[in-house]
Amino acid sequence: MLSPATIDTIKSTVPVLEKHGTDITKRFYELLFSNHPELLNVFNHANQKQGRQQAALAGAVYAAAQHIDNLEAIIPVVKMIGHKHRSLGIKAEHYPIVGRNLLAAIQDVLGLSATDPVVLAWGEAYGVIADAFISVEADMYEQAEHQEGGWADFRPFRVERKVKESDEIVSFYLVPVDGKPIAAFDPGQYVSVKAEIPGEPNVHIRQYSLSVAPGQPYYRISVKRESGLSGRPDGKVSNYLHDSIEPGDVLPLSAPAGSFTLDGGDSRPVVLISGGVGLTPLVSMLRHSAQTNPSRPVTIIHAARNGDVHALKEEVKHVAAANSGIAAYWCYEQPTEQDKELGEYDREGRIDLNWLQQIVPSKQASFYFCGPVPFMKAVNGALREWGVEEADIHYEFFGPSGSLD
């Protein structure tokens, strides 16, 4: 338990963290990787370069400070981050390392001494927050390892099939090398893939949504080639998987993880809205719902630049054709001439509230969406403008969490 004085001190830093939070977390990662370069084998370097990891950590620290007197309020966030930590292999022994470097970063940025009351208070508070993460993640490690078909850390899987789904996306069908059963998963969850790329000094770990319904003897991930557009760095792992991994090759995988999952106990209509490769967890949800709750109405809406980059289209059409309760719609921002000739899309341009209200029977539904951050901001804004209840809005960031405000 934190003392009232410590709580008051932490809360007094909320305005400071709002102003300097990203500077603190940027300095934190500089110190962390300088003092512990082995952790470069865990963290996503691309997210570091884009500043996404720094912003996500700043948001988490800010939230912890806001709710330091009621940490129960951030347990959902702790669990979401815990899933990512477990799938990456973050362990209890890493938390003291993080704590030391975080406190040093706070001191550096704010110009504090080691005996300053703010540093002492944050040292005490960090211990409590770290214990919460360690406890949650210990349960996750236990469940992942001891469930039927489960395992600890990473397990070797062989690529059974490699299928081109579009000009940008390739699916990999993965089976365990040891031939034993694999762990079940909830539709919407992901696995981490560990890639040891020739010529790269560090191991790279990436998380990919499972794009198949649970219950198969294999996992499937559908990977978009990240080609460095819009100022983003090339995707080292996605390019490696596309160019170098073939059937018969072996990839180490973590057990499935993630909190962005379909509520199978909800019988109300569900609306799945995806942009680009964000369709992968939603296809898993679609197939699972069709198999286990075929009477549940489902509307699936996918946005893509055009038909050339629209993955898994025939698969979704097949599922929809076999189930009268499923309606599928496509939105192409820049349809090709062939798209226009075939007429196999429903809207040119972007998804907006007016179109959603035309094709979605009611806002009394569970909405799930995933895709690029600008896309998710637009969908989130439309749903909130429509008056969809906050409890019915569910979304997943590919990578570190951010804000949709």
Strand ranges of the sheet holding 204-209, from the earlier edge strand across to the other edge? 204-209, 190-195, 250-254, 154-164, 169-176, 219-224
Please tell me the predicted confidence (pLDDT) of residue 231. 56
Domain positions in the chain are: 4-146, 154-254, 270-396
Q: How far, in Å, are 135, 136, 257 from residue 82 at the CA level? A: 10, 7, 9
State the residue for tokens 């406890």.
135
**Sorting pLDDT into bands at 50, 70 and 90, what band is 42?**
confident
pLDDT, tens digit, for every residue of 307-364? 999 999 999 999 999 999 999 999 999 999 999 999 989 999 999 999 999 999 999 9
Q: Is 397 annotated as a binding residue?
A: yes
Sign of CA dihedral 212, 236, 273, 370: positive
Higher local confidence (pLDDT), 113 or 251? 251
Q: How is residue 82 written in tokens?
A: 């815990």
Higher local confidence (pLDDT), 232 or 113? 113
Higher local confidence (pLDDT), 40 or 256? 256
- Closest alpha carbon to 91 in 150, 129, 138: 138
Flag whether pLDDT at 45 surpasses 90. no
Please tell me the predicted confidence (pLDDT) of residue 399. 65
Please tell me the predicted confidence (pLDDT) of residue 232. 60
Which helix (H) or strand (E) element contains residue 18?
A: helix 14-35
- Would you call 103 exposed, middle or buried from its count of C-beta atoms within 10 A (0-12, 13-18, 19+)? buried
Q: Is 214 annotated as a binding residue?
A: no
Q: Is 399 annotated as a binding residue?
A: yes
**Sorting pLDDT into bands at 50, 70 and 90, what band is 75?**
confident
State the residue for tokens 């001891």.
146
Q: Is 206 annotated as a binding residue?
A: yes
**What topology does CATH give the domain 154-254?**
Elongation Factor Tu (Ef-tu); domain 3 (2.40.30)
**What topology does CATH give the domain 270-396?**
Rossmann fold (3.40.50)
**Measured distance CA(204)–CA(43) in Å, rounded:** 8
Please tell me the predicted confidence (pLDDT) of residue 247. 98
**Measured distance CA(326)–CA(330) in Å, rounded:** 14
Tell me which residues are annotated as active site: 95, 137
Percent of the chain with pLDDT over 70: 96
Q: Residue 262: CB partners within 8 Å, gap ≥ 6?
A: 186, 187, 188, 270, 285, 288, 289, 368
When pLDDT is averaged across residues 166-187 and rounded to a whole number, the result is 97
pLDDT, tens digit, for every residue of 205-237? 999 999 999 999 999 999 999 876 555 667 899
Please tell me the predicted confidence (pLDDT) of residue 320. 96
Provide the mean pLDDT of the chain: 92
Please tell me the predicted confidence (pLDDT) of residue 61. 84
Q: Is 264 annotated as a binding residue?
A: no
**Measured distance CA(191)–CA(176) in Å, rounded:** 13
Higher local confidence (pLDDT), 186 or 47? 186
**The pTM of the whole model exceeds 0.85:** yes
- Would you call 9 exposed, middle or buried from its count of C-beta atoms within 10 A (0-12, 13-18, 19+)? buried
Flag whether pLDDT at 202 surpasses 70. yes
Cβ atoms < 10 Å from Cβ of 21: 22
Please tell me the predicted confidence (pLDDT) of residue 351. 96
Q: Is 276 annotated as a binding residue?
A: yes
Q: Are 223 and 172 in contact (CB under 8 A)?
A: yes
Radius of gyration of the chain (CA): 22
Q: Is 279 annotated as a binding residue?
A: yes
Second-level CATH architecture of 4-146: Orthogonal Bundle (1.10)
Please tell me the predicted confidence (pLDDT) of residue 356. 97
